[in-house]
Amino acid sequence: MKKFIELNTYSKLLILIISTSIFFFLIYILLYLYTVQEESHFYKTTYNQYDKEVKSLFRLDSKTATATIIDVTYWNELVQFTKTKDEKWYNQYVLNEFESYGVDYIGIYGLDKKIINKTVSPKIRSFDFIPKEMMSMLYKSKLKRFYIKIPEGIVEVFGATIHPSNDPKKIKTSPSGYFFMARLLDESFLKRLGIISNSKIYLSSSDAVTANEDDFVIVSLDLKDWKNEVVVNLIFKRPFNLNYTNSKEILFIVVFVSLISIFVYVYYTKRWVYNPLKLIKNILETGNVNSINSLKRSDGEFGYIGNLFEENSNQRKQLEISKQKAEESDTLKSSFLANLSHEIRTPMNAIMGFSDLLLDSKLEEKERLEYLKIIKNSGGSLVSIIEDLIEMSKIDAKQITPNIKGLDIEKCITELYDSIKVTIPKDKDIQFYIIENSEKLQGNILTDETKLKQIIVNLITNALKFTDRGFVAFGYSINKEKEVLEFKIEDSGMGISENYLKVIFDRFRRIEGDGSIELSGLGLGLSITKAYVELLGGEITVSSTIGLGSVFSFTIPLKFDHSVKARKPKKEKYHYTNYDNEIILIAEDDTINYMLLKKIIELKNHTVIRAKNGQEAVDICTENPNITLVFMDIKMPVLDGFQAYQKIKMIKPELPVIAQTAYSSFEDKEKMMQFGFMDCITKPLDKEKVFELLDTVFMEMHK
């Protein structure tokens, strides 16, 4: 046992294979011996049964003729005929009934052994073939069945002595003559007997040897003459349904296949187990690279192990690469945090610094206005940074889904051009225009209008930021082959180096250089833009040349809007009219936000009432019927803005309610509008937008 344990794996496998093979060979030998024994036993049983069946059938087939001759030969009139030899009686009672006997020959003989009369069928032409010597034996035995060979074939003969009817056992009287019946064992007889016995039947000479056949059971009947000598053999042949030869052949085939399998097992065990294990041992001992490559070419798990060894051998290089990437990531993170700190501190510094300067009572009006402008712009920059961070976090959390609707792309392009053109700084010598497309779209397309506009605005704003003179242009073209719309934003700005082109869409990456020192931002704009393009099912690319400008291209799927929409009446543009003395409720829990909105509204000469939570807003609307408008904060204690809105609408369904919230995304605004709010304003509040909203609401109310 100890020696077996010390053997290597390959040797153990060989011993296992050989032991198993010997065991199976013993089983095969036992199965073969058992098969031979069962074959012999079953064949013998089948033969004995078939032999009994054949003899019984043949004996039964002769019983009719035997019974007939016994019945006929104790007949008084037949006894009288042997004496009178009356031809007329013979013809009437024997000849006319010949067919009913079912034989081919009937002969009546006297005691002198001479034929008195006979009748034969067309099958037999021989005149008198009954041996005279046989009649002497018949005189004593009274009844005899035997076989004779005549020129026409083998004849089965039934002979009996004739006695009166009062002697049915033929023991009281002496015979009056002899009566013979015979039938020819021809093809029709053999065929009929074969159908009955479900066998193939044929005659064989007495000296012929009947060979055994594996697929048949063969029984031979000896047909003997009156001397008890064999005249001919009657052969019965029936298929042997259970042939063990095939079983033996299958066993031999199994043994042969097993031998081949043993050689195959040994060969492939050496190839698939011994050789790979030898390679593994060599690798573990020496770390040989050639052994690793050889092991990798092995099939199955050993090939996988070879790959693992290769990975292990390359681990140091990968660790170096990972270390380098980790350092880069750490550097990028540090750069982002430093950049974020810088970008937030810059506007905060302006806001806090100039706010402090505004406290000086000696400050001139011109300086005061300039400081206020700086504070406002810095606040806008701070909001932009925060919105970019929030938008990127929503993209990561997959909280943004496209709002697909029909869009008139030509109208969209025109609106974008008109809204962006007025924002271009006057100090920049830039020609801003639309790239004309020779083929216009016929009909609306399906896309997210807000996201598409934001993509284009981001790219144009980016182009304007890096272009001081020259041009900025945008437009689209139709690619029918790919079924997409291709948008281009071109500029003649400072351009982007090849190194930055590789990472321009990565997060927190900004173009650093002399021309971009004064430009601010976290470097999230293009990352957000790329995410929006992919959200719409498109792709974005960029090409640029330093000093010549850049071209940003992106695609969106070209899908037409086939729905039929009812035309909406055009909204009238309301001009400024000073509607005052309205009572307005502000539901706001934050005092500073309330004070700001209150001051803005009071500039329009309206009266303001405050509710500090949602329930208080509902109570005030219930108690004060003069309230004409509600500004509802969404996030409040007790009842939030949505809950308070529902209760107010149950009390005063006609009262307009405007949502004011710090949630600024399109999805949030869409949710509020679908909930039923008349409109929505976002924080930080824009005074002019509040004024425009108030004028629109009250003009609508005073129509």
Q: Report the candidate in 89, 270, 267, 232 with the shortest Cα–Cα distance to residue 149.
A: 232
Alpha-carbon distance 317 to 329, whole Å? 18
Q: How far apart are CA 369 and CA 384, in angstroms?
A: 23
Report the number of distinct structural domains present in the chain: 5
Distance of alpha carbon 608 from alpha carbon 480, whole angstroms: 58
Instruction: Say yes or no: 231 and 83 in one domain.
Output: yes
C-alpha 533/C-alpha 485 separation (Å) is 12
- Spatial distance between the Cα atoms of 492 and 547, rounded to a whole number of angstroms: 8
Task: Provide the pLDDT for residue 265.
Answer: 74
Query: Do 517 and 389 reside in the same domain of the chain?
Result: no
Q: Which helix (H) or strand (E) segment is 99 a member of? A: helix 98-101
Chain-wide mean pLDDT for the chain?
81
pLDDT at 508 over 80: no
618 in any annotated domain: yes
DSSP output for 437-467: -SS---S-EEE-HHHHHHHHHHHHHHHHHT-
Calpha distance 282→297 (Å, rounded): 16
Shared domain for 178 and 276, answered yes or no, is no
Cα 143 to Cα 70: distance, rounded to the nearest angstrom: 8
CATH of the domain at 65: 3.30.450.220
C-alpha distances (whole Å) from 559 to each of 265, 476, 481, 556 are 62, 15, 13, 9
**Do 361 and 309 reside in the same domain of the chain?**
yes
Is 106 domain-assigned?
A: yes
Q: Is 551 helix (H, G, I), strand (E, B) or coil?
A: strand
**What average pLDDT does this structure show over 281-291?**
78
Instruction: Assess contact for 119 and 100: CB atoms under 8 A.
Output: no
3-state secondary structure of 174: coil
Cα–Cα separations (whole angstroms), residue 260 to 20, 26, 252, 255: 14, 17, 12, 9
Residue 410's CB: how many other CB atoms inside 10 A?
A: 14
On whether the CB atoms of residues 657 and 617 are closer than 8 A, the answer is no
Do 302 and 261 lie in one domain? The reply is no
Report the candidate in 609, 651, 650, 602 with the shortest Cα–Cα distance to residue 632.
609
With a CB cutoff of 8 Å and minimum separation 6, the contacts of 178 are 108, 109, 110, 111, 113, 135, 138, 159, 160, 161, 162
Q: Name the band, by pLDDT with cuts 50, 70 and 90, for residue 629.
A: very high
563 Rama class: left (phi>0) / alpha (psi -120 to 50) / beta: beta
* DSSP secondary structure of 656-668: -EEEEES--SHHH
In angstroms, rounded to a whole number, what is the distance separating the alpha carbons of residues 609 and 584?
A: 6
Q: How far is 529 from 585, CA to CA, in rounded Å?
A: 39
Residue with tokens 């025109």: 414
* The pLDDT value given to residue 163: 92
Query: Can you read off the two tokens belonging to residue 52?
Result: 């009994």
Give the tens place of pLDDT for each residue, 336-356: 666 666 566 667 777 777 787
Residues 29 and 61 in one domain: no
According to DSSP, residue 566 is labeled P
How far is CA 534 from each of CA 157, 402, 478, 506, rounded to the nearest angstrom?
108, 10, 19, 14
Please indicate, yes or no, if residue 170 is contained in any of the structural domains: yes
* Block residue for tokens 């037409």: 560
- pLDDT grade, residue 648 (50/70/90)? very high
Q: What tokens does 358 get? A: 């505004």
Q: Which helix (H) or strand (E) holds 161?
A: strand 153-161
Same-domain status, 97 and 189:
yes
pLDDT of 551 reads: 92
The residue-averaged pLDDT of 256-264 equals 80
Residue 564 has pLDDT above 60, yes or no: no
Q: What is the secondary structure of 210-256 as a DSSP string?
A: ----TTEEEEEEEEE-TTS-EEEEEEEEEE-S--HHHHHHHHHHHHH
Rounded (10°) angle between helices 315-358 and 365-396? 150
* Out of 245-254, 385-394, 510-519, least confident range: 510-519
**Which of 345, 376, 395 is where one domain is finished?**
395
**Sheet with 177-184: strands ordered across:** 115-120, 105-110, 177-184, 153-161, 143-150
Mean pLDDT value across residues 168-194? 89
Are residues 656 and 698 in contact, defined by beta-carbon separation less than 8 angstroms?
Answer: no
Q: 3-class SS at 577?
A: coil
Q: Which of 369-378, 389-398, 672-681 has the lowest mean pLDDT?
A: 389-398
- The predicted structure's pLDDT at residue 554: 93
* Confidence check: pLDDT of 505 > 90: no
- Do 385 and 486 lie in a common domain? no
CA distance 679 to 682: 10
pLDDT at residue 587 tops 90? yes
Domain stops at, among 364, 395, 426: 395
Q: Is residue 341 part of a domain?
A: yes
CB 601 within 8 A of CB 691: no
Domain annotation covers residue 567: no
pLDDT digits (tens, 9 = 90+) for 13-28: 777 778 887 888 888 7
- By three-state DSSP, how is residue 584 classified? strand
Bridge partners (DSSP) of residue 143 are: 160
Residue of 205, 214, 97, 218 whose CA lies nearest to 153: 205
Stated as kind and residue range, the H or E segment containing 643 is: helix 641-651
**pLDDT of 631 over the 90 cut:** yes
Local structure of residue 271 (DSSP, 8 states): I
Asked if 212 contacts 218 with a C-beta cutoff of 8 angstroms, the reply is yes
Whether 182 and 269 share a structural domain: no
Q: Which structure tokens are listed for 354? A: 């100039």
Single pTM value for the model = 0.43
Q: Pick the more confident residue, 506 or 547.
A: 547
Residue percentage of the chain with pLDDT more than 90: 23
Same domain as 525, residue 405: yes
Which structural domain range is residue 311 located in? 290-395
User: Residue 611 maps to which CATH number?
Assistant: 3.40.50.2300
pLDDT band at 661 (very low <50, low <70, confident <90, very high): confident
Structure confidence at residue 655 (pLDDT): 92
Report the relative pairing of strands 627-633 and 583-587 from DSSP bridges: parallel
Three-state helix/strand/coil letters over 500-535: HHCCCCCCCCCCCCHHHCCCCCCCCHHHHHHHHHHH
Instruction: Tell me the CB-side half-sphere exposure of residue 625, using CA atoms within 13 A.
Output: 0
For residues 659 and 677, is the Cβ–Cβ distance under 8 A?
A: yes
Residue 263 falls inside a structural domain: yes
How does residue 357 score in pLDDT terms, banded at 50, 70 and 90? confident
Per DSSP, the three-state class of 183 is strand
pLDDT reported for residue 516: 44
138 and 235 share one domain: yes
Q: Are 391 and 423 found together in one domain? A: no
* 660 falls within a domain: yes
Give domain status of residue 563, yes or no: no
CATH code (residue 315): 1.10.287.130
Judge whether residue 97 has pLDDT over 80.
yes
Which of 395, 429, 446 terminates a domain? The answer is: 395
Q: pLDDT value at position 368?
A: 80
- pLDDT band of 313, cuts 50, 70, 90: confident
Please give the backbone phi and psi of residue 524, each rounded to the nearest 5 degrees, phi first: -105, -15
In this structure, are residues 303 and 310 in contact, taking their beta carbons and an 8 Å threshold?
A: no
